[in-house]
Amino acid sequence: MKSDDVKPDDALFMRRALDLAQLGTGYVRPNPLVGCVVVHQGQIIGEGWHRQYGGPHAEVNALAAVENQELLRESRVYVTLEPCAHHGKTPPCADLLIEKGVPEVVICNVDPFALVAGRGIEKLRAAGVHVETGLLAEEGRWLNRRFFTFHEKKRPYLVLKWAETADGFLAGRYFQPVQISGPQAGLLTHQWRAEEAGILVGTRTALHDNPRLNVRDWPGPQPTRLVIDKNLSLPPTHHLLDGSQPTRLYTYRQPHHTPNLDLVTLSEADDLLPQVLADLHAQNIQSVLVEGGPTVLNALLAAGLWDEIRVFRSPMRLGQGIAAPRLGHTGRRSVENVGPDELLWYVND
C-alpha cells in the first residue's frame, strides 16, 4: 500500500479480519480462510467470516451484518483475500460489493487461485471502487499458507510430525509401539488433525501401531486417512480399513472395492512420493499431516518436501530402538513446553 493511502487504524481493522478468518479453520477447506470487516467513520458496523465450505463467503456475511445498508455507500471494507469474481458455490463477492455501492476496499492478499488471481480487483476498480492491496500481506500468507502452497507449488502443504525420546528414538526395537509423549501433546495432535485435510502414514506405522488417524479429543472435521501400503499387507481387522471415514490407500497392487476406501495403484517404475503428491493435488487435498513412520519422514526430508516440522521431545530415554529422523538445516525454529515434553517447531523458509 502507498503511504498516503494508509489510515491510522487500517492495520487494526485488517488484523481483526485476520482473527475472524481463523475461526473457519478446518471447516472451509478446500476454500481459503477469509475474514471481512466493514468500517464507517472509524467504527466497525459489520463483520463476518467464511464459516463453512459451500456457505456464504466472508464479504456476504459482513455486509449482511450491517443494520443500516445505506451506510455501505460511505464505508471502507477490509477483507483478508481478494474478493472472488467468478461463479462457484456462491455468486461473485466483487459483484456484491459493487452492487452495495462500497467505495473503498482494502485487501490483504491477492488470490493465487487461477479463476480469481487479480480479476476481482480488476472488476472492482473498473466499477470505480478504490482498492488497496498488501496490508499485513505476510500475516495473511501465513494464515492461508496451505492454500497458497497448494496453488503455487501444485502440491499439498506438508506438516511432518513425530515424537522422540531424549536419546533420539521414536519406537522400540522392531517397531514396538511406545507411548513417548504426554497427554497434553496428544490433545494438541488431535487439534492439528482437525486442521489438516489429510493424515499420512507408511506401512510399518499402519501395521505396528494400528492407528485410527481420526479426531477424537478436539472439535472439528475428520481428515482423509492416507496410507502407503505398497503390497496390501494391512489385515482387514486394522482400524484404517474399518470404513469409518474416507481413506486413501496407495499400493502397487490392483485395486479392489472396499466401502469408504479408495485404492490408488502406483507405478513401480517411478518414484513413489511424487506420485502420491500428484494424486493428492488432483484430489484437492491441500494439506497433509505426516505422522510417520521413519521411512516416509526421512524420504520427505531428503527430498526437501516439507513446510513445517513439529517434534515432541520427551524426557524419557529408551536406550535402543528405531531412530528418529535427524535434522540438518531446517529454517526457522521455535521451542515451547507442552506438558512434560518440549515442542520443537520448524518452518521451511
Tens of pLDDT, residues 215-266: 998 998 999 999 999 999 999 899 999 999 999 999 998 767 778 899 999 9
- If we measure between CA atoms, which residue out of 202, 205, 209, 302 comes closest to residue 250? 202
Which pLDDT score is estimated for 8?
A: 65
Q: Which residues are annotated as a binding site for substrate?
A: 193, 213, 216, 291
pTM: 0.92
Which pLDDT score is estimated for 349?
A: 81
Place of cell 472472488: 84
What percent of the chain shows pLDDT beyond 70? 96
The cell numbers describing 281, all together, are: 493435488
What are the distances in angstroms from CA 187 to CA 182, 183, 184, 202, 219?
A: 9, 6, 5, 22, 11
265 by DSSP, 3-state: which? strand
Average pLDDT over residues 40-46: 96
- Structural domains in the chain, sorted by start: 3-149 (3.40.140.10), 155-347 (3.40.430.10)
Q: Using the CB atoms, write b or e for 6-33: b if 16+ within 10 Å.
A: eeebbeebbbbbbebbeebebbbbebbb
Which pLDDT score is estimated for 254?
A: 79
The model's confidence at residue 56, banded by pLDDT at 50, 70 and 90, is very high
Tens of pLDDT, residues 77-136: 999 999 998 666 678 999 999 999 999 999 999 999 877 778 999 999 999 999 999 999
Q: Which residues are annotated as a binding site?
A: 57, 84, 93, 163, 193, 205, 209, 213, 216, 291, 293-299
Q: Which of 47, 59, 82, 164 is catalytic?
A: 59
Please indicate whether residue 59 is annotated as part of the active site: yes
284 by DSSP, 3-state: which? coil
Residue type, 69: Q
Which pLDDT score is estimated for 89?
A: 67
Tens of pLDDT, residues 293-340: 899 999 999 999 999 999 999 999 999 999 999 987 677 899 999 999
Which pLDDT score is estimated for 228?
A: 95
Place of cell 459451500: 54
The conformation of residue 59, written as its DSSP 8-state character, comes to: H
pLDDT, averaged across the chain: 92
Which pLDDT score is estimated for 4?
A: 45
Q: Which residues are annotated as a binding site for Zn(2+)?
A: 57, 84, 93
Q: Which residues are annotated as a binding site for NADP(+)?
A: 163, 205, 209, 293-299
The rounded distance, in Å, linking the Cα atoms of 35 and 14 is 9
- If we measure between CA atoms, which residue out of 180, 191, 258 comes closest to residue 220? 191
The conformation of residue 237, written as its DSSP 8-state character, comes to: T
Place of cell 486417512: 225
The rounded distance, in Å, linking the Cα atoms of 201 and 286 is 17
- Is the CB of residue 60 less than 8 Å from the CB of residue 51? no
The cell numbers describing 304, all together, are: 526437501
Which pLDDT score is estimated for 25?
A: 93
